[in-house]
A and B are shown apart, each in its own frame.
Chain A
């Protein structure tokens, strides 16, 4: 409260504001009043929808693009630029898909004939009008080519899709071109747009400028125009195409005519399109013609195709037989575009239902009433009003919540509100906490709950008058009335046993069996702990951490240590009664680090010595956790156990495990048992831990099978983390382990937490994914929760939603801070509701969707055969896309694959999920690895799943050495690797440095300090520290990548053609994987087939 009051200045909470004050205020302020601002944003949003709509038309374009094809080669570029649409289409054709393509084609009326030669592409075309197909194909092809070609020209155009390379620059344009164009107008009247677009678009195009206006704000003001300009020309296919980076440009002219083709914005397609393809929906991207899909990619579907049909002719010739991978939607392009468009302005959360920038984009957030996307991300920001709609769309409605997410230093952490003894104000009926959406009525004497509509009295001490708009005059002085995220100090009623909690404790539990000693782990760990103990998390600016520490070592018995400050020497107490674990001491086990420093140091010095000669190889596990939990119970506090464990616990004790690893089970109905715990003992134990607020972090150092699936049960259910270092050796893994350990120990964490998600009437949280325990259906219990842990919540309708009032979410987290303070953290988020499916598709977030789907699938493997899970994923994805195609895309040939703009990456990402180790293990993947990954993914946030499933591949020598920014990523495919280059690949867990065989000797020398490629040690994990710009840059880049991830990524140097390359290739997710995973192109074709089946 005080804070607020003190803050009186305009922006009460100011802090954040101060940062951009001018900014927001100006722009924002404007917003409300003026439409202008909206436009900006709207532009964005708008665009999207616009696109989609356009897409429909676009589809038609696609064909055009095809048409373009003739010109293609040249044009293509344009086309591509247009969007990946083309590209996509192309892609399909191009790559692997050929086969499929063919099939498709086969099926398709057209294709057969024309395609034959062209291979898939033609077929693709077929889908559309036969002719069109061909044309389309061409277009696609063109697109593809374009990409290649484009590169040069496009940059400016950037439209994006098409040529990945150009993308970066293009991206900016992209949106504009496609999106904007469409949007600007489209947005407002979505419905009309869709349809209308085609026609309208043309004008828009011209209009584009406006659109551009939007973009401009972002960055490309200039571009925009240019873009638009080009677009038009581009559309014009013909000649311009080539020159025109993006199709977009070219089409316009022609497009216009087609009107529908507008979609064409993608211009490129235009060629044909001009007439027919209405929009290409390039934007939609995704569509491919099944085989042909290429053009379709995006919107080609439509009529355009037919038109093309005629064109086909030309295309055919052009068409390379394959889908050009560059033509299918490129994640890289999308990411780059979003970065360029949205990275520069803060994301202001004041408006309901805004889709935030992608997780890969760096942006600042200004809290103006809704929680930052860093805390909550939704699969869709526009929720269908009815469950029927939701069922139809099959788009999961889910929110990925990271309640304690760390914020960048520029953003202020949530304000703490102290309401004194009365505690936070809540709705009497649904118990929702006071938030900006609560409606004050009757002059401020009452308020109506925004969740359940219950009318509550305002307590006298909270009373405040309302201004003429019905807002409380103090609204801006109170975080809970004006911010999306804030904290309340909890009263004693919110505490266990009605007692304020004591500060939490950390207990380090170290395996000292033979393996741990021999590998050097114990010595390393003890040494590290000495200094690490000074870095325990502390609250705010507290001088010293309130956290107490305790130490236990164990093999098949447990050793507790008394490190009371008054002792001269630590005392060891051995408990061998592992069957019935208990804590042998009370006083002196958990101590303040500073007070007992001498004793602790002495202990850590002696532990490695004491067990140096151990021959004990057996270990226990469950009793160790039990012991830690009992210790916390005895001390009456919450806390965290850090377990350092090496082997399968086979010693006679509760929780004893046997080696049940059996690869023969893979791909059988029994495969699921590999993911299930061996015994129920750990669940029971976890439950007790949760009740005590005992979070377990597990560090595993296995040399062989340790049954991660079972060992992880407790960490998983208590909100802990698991780290695994297979075949740990100090020399190789020390840095990684220590870095993880430091981060894990230091990170801010809340204990003994309960999270509850409340929603407005109409939807309800029905399912939860993550690392936690639930004893009922609504409360998520987290023994511990840190800033990396995410809970994914799925919602279902239980009633109708109202378009006007939208849908509200309130996530309340009650937890104990690391200083022992009991707090409530509240995140609020308002979403729009829609009665039109198109709105839903326009406001989706594919990354979040993938996060949800991966978690859903990964949980599914516990109960169903993996195949079933995979099929279900594919089916769901197909249904989502088919629904879109059926309900939102403008009519077009069945052969075209039309993807919603927001979901154009869904297939590629989904394919990555499908071929991940858990769902499709390769021969080298162990059961433990799978269980480990499964466990990790469960609590990943959107950014982590994004990079985990689609790794980043960064070329190192392409960009000038001087450039300080991260080099633009390339798509994760072997085709993108040039043997004269060096690449970094990271997925959040692994980091590879791939060295091409014909890399310049100078580069080798300056990076590895050896004279030739052959002298580079394969598998090297540390780059020599050399004083030259390249070495510095690469090492700097490695460090910065590591800094972005919550786990330390160990570097592995892979040489081209080396046997380690197999490992590396596993991460090139657009390619076919050894384990049978489909390539992107193949999968896209498959997806298209599925969709078509659904539609027919």
Chain B
């Protein structure tokens, strides 16, 4: 040790060559060797002195690194004019050069044109100093016992305590430090097979298989391990298929999302970052299908909007703020004038599904604006057919959602003129819708006392129709598209010729298959109020012995539980209505719902076959 120290302490002196070089640089040509020696000793000593003083400044500046500023201050102490221009903070670029038998290190100083400096744009202002305090500890005034906050939180990462008394703290601290080991979840061979089968079935052509697969996803309790894979599958799938405008596949994927959400053993919160963008894409994407004028992408948007609303309800917390973020996204697009009709439709649908309050605060105030926009398209010069269809859909969507809210909130006399004044172009139609809605409500109140079948159904479900018939009846794409189309049909759009009944009523027909031969039961569901609902039908298929479940979903009544919504399950069953009840509830995917919705189901026996099932558009 002593040896080392001695080494270090050897006084270092600048080489005399440096003195010569410096002397030359200031114009002193010949310097005697002795003078050089004397100079170098003197200079070395002074430099050391200054360095020692500069160290003081470093220590008081509470730094570990000596800066040029410290040297400046040290020079100032000695009454020496500081060096100007050495503002280099971190690194002083000394350059090395050799030549003429001499080696030099020098600091390259370039001549700078002042105008260049003046004309260069100012560099970015560095961030200002700010103070950061761990949040939960900020309220130092609070009377809460300090023990509640153990040391070692926030920045104070690790903790090492000595002494017996603190051993508990030690344990605690160590636990805190331990990172959860990163583990790769290897799927077993069976799981891999299952995953492959399921995903193939979900996007495959066989509707029967798909139904089975979705059923499995919705009910199987052991899927947790596969959840990340499913979620990636969906998110990737949407990304690819949106680009390719593959509407069918997008629908399948959304149904997968639905099934995942239905599974009570899965908790999706950790995968929302993948699922929500996928779902929102299906709501607001400009184009979802190859032929926007023909294909019914509107149903997909509706369905995805319901999914979105559902996940908001389930997962939105004050931390992730999903609902408000989603709302903001929709509202922003809605307020944008350039938004296309498709996206506009999606935004409105997405907002509307979030509940009455959202409709009241965000959509109704926009009615007149949107009305004017629609009017421009409808009455204006012939523009593209697509725009017209879009405007038409938006209009019916607005009327559907707003009518029930207005019916609730607006005092009675429904004067067309007033409506017109308040809501502009849409006022007239809205008025009639509101009147209908009120009538419906009144009618509903009466019918409630009749034979009713109350079925609670928790979540929206996209109908799945399963039958040999439809499966075999042609290419899968049209089939798929057909299903949603029936959905929109059900929505209360004026001018739908085939739907003369008040908007809220739906008929679902169930075909029984069993031994009852061709007997068919038709259940008429009448819901109290309109809402988007999906009806699906099962063509009677005597050959199939399997009871079929059909279902449809009502809007998710987001906010007010008071609003009776409808959802209906249609079950095909052998004979008696009592067994229908049993069966119906037995087959339901899941049994509890946050808001129990009441619906009145009117059962009717009808001799008519499945004629009115597949209602054409």
Chains A and B belong together in one complex: no
